[in-house]
Amino acid sequence: MQRPGLLSFSDQFGAVLAANLFLVFLVASAFQAAWAAAPEPWQPPARPEAAPLPRSARLGVSEDSLPAARAVKTPAGASEAMRELVLGVSEVLAGNHRQGAARLAAVLPKAGDQADVAAYYQGLGLYLADDAPAALAALDGLSAHAANSFLGRDALYLAMESAARAGRHDRTLALAEAWLADAEPSLAPEVWLRAAAAAANLGERQKSQDFLRHLVLTFPVSKSAAAGTALARRLLAEPGGAGGFDPDAPDTVLLLAEALVEKGGAEAALTLLDGRTGWSPAQAARADYVRGKALYRLRRPKAAFDAFAKAIPVDPAASLAGWARYHQARCLWRSLEPEDGGRMEALLREVLAGPGRDDPLREAAARHLALLLAERGRFAEALEAAGQLKGLAVGPDLAAQGASLTALLRYVVGDFAGAEADLAAFAGRFPEDDWADGARYWRGRALVGLGRSQEAATAWMEVAAARPNTYYGGRAAAALSGAGDVGERVVASSPTTPPRCPDAAAPPSPAVAAALGKAYALSDAGLPALAEMALEFAAKAAPDRADLAMAHIRAAMESGRRTAAMRTAWRTFGACLLRGTPAELGPLRDALYPRAYSGDVTAALAGSGIDPDIIYSLIRQESFFDPKAVSGAGAVGLMQLMPETAKAMGKKIGIRPNRADLFNPVINIRLGVAFFRERLGQEGTLPATLASYNAGQNRVAVWNAGFGRLGEELFTEFIPYTETRDYVRRITTNAMLYKRLYPGGK
């Protein structure tokens, strides 16, 4: 008999089982609901702020910095509308999205020429409050006339995101396509993804797949590309999806892996390739080739060499095998072992002896062979190798590189007549090439070798008069000053049109006055970042206006946006930067060539005899005087010191810096200057010192042994690493400009 109130064992078991089943049901239901609520990777994120946002939406106003109504700084005579606008913008940026949007909606009819600011931040506030339909409506007018406002492009983007969140696929696609008509890299992956998803939802399968192919192969390292890959797989799995863009097809995987390598995703490329099966022999060889390129980018040359070796046996006569041998040679170039130089030479000669006619491959192999032989001081053999560059059907950039190398080698081996002819032909054949002035300068040197000093001076004057503020302009001017009477007799033919410089007068313009007034009102009201954006937009729209350009340059420098300031300076004052006098460049001097931290530089250089302008130039090149700068490789601070280097140098001068100390300008400059002084003592010349700062002293030791005896100018010309060669030229040029812009050291 069963006792009242007690369950038998079987009844107890049944109750427990029922309870567990019910719990499983609840958990499964909750999981299913969460799964249903979680968006697919290609859909807008659950939280609106999780989507990539333009800079205008990320200006960093915090809750603590919100201006109180009575504390808002506004210009004299500013209206109540301006005060409300500033409060509304600040509230939106600080997180009070709905409150700020409501304030801006109320002030919009009275905002005048700041109506675009009010409309944009009203829309942003509604978007961040997750009211996508209202945000889309608020942004409609501004996004429809995006070209008319500095916030127009951002409004167009934000309207697209709002339309996507609202499920308005047709509107999303239209807005995305409008934005992509003038795309920029930073937000482009998200727009391509939105366009692809909208097209898919509208049943425009081919258009969606075209968008996805472009997204995945052009922006392979972006999160949007990963989401696009998931969408492409979903489309393939749907009825009728076969034959569309397949991100997992072997040939597509190979294309994607190569794109990843080129766009900084070498590790991701290796992950993509590893474990793949089903390759054809040709595809497997291509995979090994791409794997080698990825390993080379990751600075694993020995592993890369072995990967390239696996790509060769499938078809040793094929172009891919030739490129694999060429890249093996490049791997050996990273080695400092003497025998590896011989192995590199043998590989390059093997490529050049191959039966195929792959002109880009032959160009790369012949040029690198010539550089290798020059690096080893074998100039006659280098010239012979460079001779194989002639007549190859390659693009103008590669053809110019080959022509410049051949001409310089002729000069070095004493064939001044051949060098002069090649250099004269270069200036005529590649007039827009970056090295065209270099050809004119070295032609002058070759003419001196031929005893034709008057013609040499004329060649130098052409460079010195047209672009005196460049590397070769400075070299030409120095050569002229050392040419004695010959240089003095040459009359410069000054450019007929004077350059536009910062003090250039321009007629009054109501549009310019309005743009400046709008920006200054924003700045005075406490929104300097928006003011700088407005000025950048206006300066770009009117590149001939010096007043707008200077206003933006000042605002950008105050905001720490040095790259933006340089873009505007080159766009408006490019000719002045190339050939302006110190007086004409004066208004740009403190912005573009500052002598910041001069006391620290002077103290660190005490007793060294080193020109301080070299250090200013070095800092300008490394960090543009940003003490918080950190490179992708981990170099820190003003002089971009690696923590290990700083630690080793600190032991020598009696300090123990940690990484945080390297952000301190005083410590960074002290360590950086000590490092530079040590390198200068070891290398002996400025070009070699700068090269060692960039490429390392072991590699520079090889260069010094091979072509160091040719003198500083030819040492610079024969640096085989393009990045290092340009680095030495830029710092040398900067130092020359510092000297000109600060006469007497003041």
Q: Using alpha carbons, list the distances in angstroms from residue 501 to 191, 374, 572.
A: 39, 42, 8
Cα(616)–Cα(738) distance, rounded to whole angstroms?
8
Q: Is 393 exposed, middle or buried (0-12, 13-18, 19+ CB in 10 A)?
A: exposed
DSSP string, 479-538: HHHTSTHHHHHPPP---SSPPP-TT------HHHHHHHHHHHHHHHTT-HHHHHHHHHHH
Cα(104)–Cα(125) distance, rounded to whole angstroms?
9
Asked whether the beta carbons of 559 and 539 are under 8 A apart, the reply is: no
* 636, β-bridge pairs: 630, 641
User: 136: Cβ–Cβ under 8 A, 6 or more apart, which residues?
Assistant: 123, 159, 162, 163, 166, 168, 171
SS3 636: strand
Cα(126)–Cα(135) distance, rounded to whole angstroms?
5
Cα(355)–Cα(383) distance, rounded to whole angstroms?
22
Cα(535)–Cα(152) distance, rounded to whole angstroms?
14
Reference 722, options 299, 435, 383; nearest CA is 435
Cα(366)–Cα(265) distance, rounded to whole angstroms?
29
Q: Which tokens sit at 707?
A: 């072509």
Cα(727)–Cα(693) distance, rounded to whole angstroms?
10
Q: Is 323 exposed, middle or buried (0-12, 13-18, 19+ CB in 10 A)?
A: buried
User: Which amino acid appears at position 286 of this protein?
Assistant: R
Identify the active-site residue in 84, 462, 622, 717. 622
User: Which amino acid appears at position 633 of this protein?
Assistant: A
Cα(518)–Cα(521) distance, rounded to whole angstroms?
5
User: 182: Cβ–Cβ under 8 A, 6 or more apart, which residues?
Assistant: 153
SS3 67: coil
Question: CA 322, 299, 321 angle in degrees (round to 5)?
Answer: 10
Q: Is 310 exposed, middle or buried (0-12, 13-18, 19+ CB in 10 A)?
A: middle
Assess whether 184 carries a catalytic annotation. no
Q: Is 592 exposed, middle or buried (0-12, 13-18, 19+ CB in 10 A)?
A: buried
Reference 660, options 630, 624, 618; nearest CA is 630
Q: Which tokens sit at 520?
A: 């200054």
Q: Using alpha carbons, list the distances in angstroms from residue 718 to 121, 180, 198, 681.
A: 54, 42, 53, 22
Q: Which residues belong to the active site? A: 622
